[in-house]
Amino acid sequence: MARFVCCLISVLVAGTFHASGQKFVVAPFNFNIQNGSYTPASTDGKALAGVKTEIPAQTFVQEPGPDLALICPRPGGILLFKSMKKTDPAHTAGKLVDPSLAIVDTIFHNQVYSQRVDGQESFTFDLWYSVLINGKRYYTDFRPHTFDYRYPLVYHKQLFMVASQDTGNEMYADKGYPEYFHIAVFDMQNGGIRTRFVSEELPFHYGNEFLDESDNVIKSQYNEKDHTFRIEIEGLNETYKGIWDGNVLKHLN
């Protein structure tokens, strides 16, 4: 298995882990904790049922920079808003049903809530994201997936990427414990990338606090003979193994 750790300068480079972008963060250390819990607006089933407008997913980006994210809606979609005024129906933009590329430019840490559940302190977060999809700005409290790993498949003219969603650690809402992994593959076109394939959630539990290149948890191997690409993600107690042949992803465990 080969390990790839060099920086992503352009699309045509060796495999890399995600690099931190220049997104703007509002009140990242808002630890003014209030009693209670936060109910997400973007996944409100009742509100979703009443929204008919579907927002087209973004499937192409000219420059895949470090702020590029992947939004993987739950079955039935998620709501996107025109502002953070979630209780005003006029500020609902529509629902996103399909996986979409997005640029995350601002994260709003509005409020931390805490309550006792089965004798343990449980935290929930009023945490919102300002995202650009097809050049339009939307707001959501559904956490985007970050791209943790990128590898160019030159023969196939594709970019192979691994995306995960940080689940957070106690009062640190969006730091650590990545889960809900997806594999996304993009066709490389004129310096940009276009979505070719986004997997369902990978059938494994990562379990570690961080996903860092120094931990060597993602290993890959490209076969020059049949042009297949093997990927392995080693979690705390489980390991995901898969192979991509340019068209189909096959789970090996």
Report which residue type is found at 65.
G
What per-residue confidence (pLDDT) applies to 1?
Answer: 36
Residue 131, domain member (yes or no):
yes
Q: What is the pLDDT of residues 117-170, one digit of tens each?
A: 888 888 888 999 999 999 999 999 999 999 999 999 999 999 999 999 998 876
Classify residue 84: in a domain, yes or no. yes
Burial label, 232 (beta-carbon count in 10 A; 0-12, 13-18, 19+): middle
Q: Is residue 104 part of a domain?
A: yes
Rounded to an integer, what distance in angstroms lies between the CA atom of residue 4 and that of residue 220? 8
Q: What is the pLDDT of residues 214-236, one digit of tens each?
A: 778 999 999 999 999 999 999 99
What is the C-alpha to C-alpha distance for residues 177 and 5, in angstroms, rounded to an integer?
21
Q: Please tell me the total count of domains within the chain.
A: 1
Q: What is the pLDDT of residue 30?
A: 64
Strand partners, 242: 231, 251
> Mean pLDDT over residues 94-110, rounded?
95
Helices (H) and strands (E) in the chain, counts: 1, 18
Model pLDDT, residue 65? 87
In a domain, 199, yes or no: yes
Q: Which residues form the domain of 61?
A: 16-251
Query: What are the pLDDT digits (tens) for 3-15?
Result: 332 223 233 334 5
Give residue 64's pLDDT: 87
Average pLDDT over residues 13-20: 48
Burial per residue of 157-171, b for 16 or more beta-carbon CB atoms within 10 angstroms, e otherwise: ebbbbbbbbbebeee
- Domain membership of residue 92 (yes or no) is yes
Return the structure tokens found at 86.
């979630």
For residues 108 and 85, the answer to whether their CB atoms sit within 8 Å is: no
- Determine, yes or no, domain membership for 83: yes
Assess contact for 129 and 141: CB atoms under 8 A.
Answer: yes
8 assigned to some structural domain: no
User: Which position has the token pair 């509100």?
Assistant: 47
Residue 4 domain flag: no
